[in-house]
Structure 1
């Protein structure tokens, strides 16, 4: 499997910065599984930090 290294390439597998698994669905560095795991944790600090990263990257709509 080829892993994209350019941020401008769309729909290419990329490694998650949290778990290192390769995924097609990748939002601000994290795969969907990690986003779900962070959202379900009792300590929401990591999830809130990720949400702040998303807002910084894409803005608020």
Structure 2
């Protein structure tokens, strides 16, 4: 598999599904700030839902 790099293409921010703020770092719908907040909550329900989304999108390792 080869990867083609287009030097003219810039990264574009995408809105976070949780906070709606645009972010360049976006994993399974959430920005880095929201992922950190999910990990620090006492109730891990939302964090577990995000982890399941990551597994669904990228596969389980």
TM, length-normalised to structure 1: 0.80
**Equivalent residues in 2 for 1:6-25, closer than 5 Å:** 11-25=11-25
Instruction: Give the equivalent residue in structure 1 for 2:30.
Output: 30
Instruction: Give the equivalent residue in structure 2 for 1:4.
Output: none
Gaps of 5+ in 2: 1-9
TM, length-normalised to structure 2: 0.80
Structure 1 residue ranges, 4+ long, deviating more than 2 angstroms after superposition: none
- Count of residues paired in the alignment: 52
Gaps of 5+ in 1: 1-9
RMSD: 1.2
Structure with the greater alpha carbon radius of gyration: 2
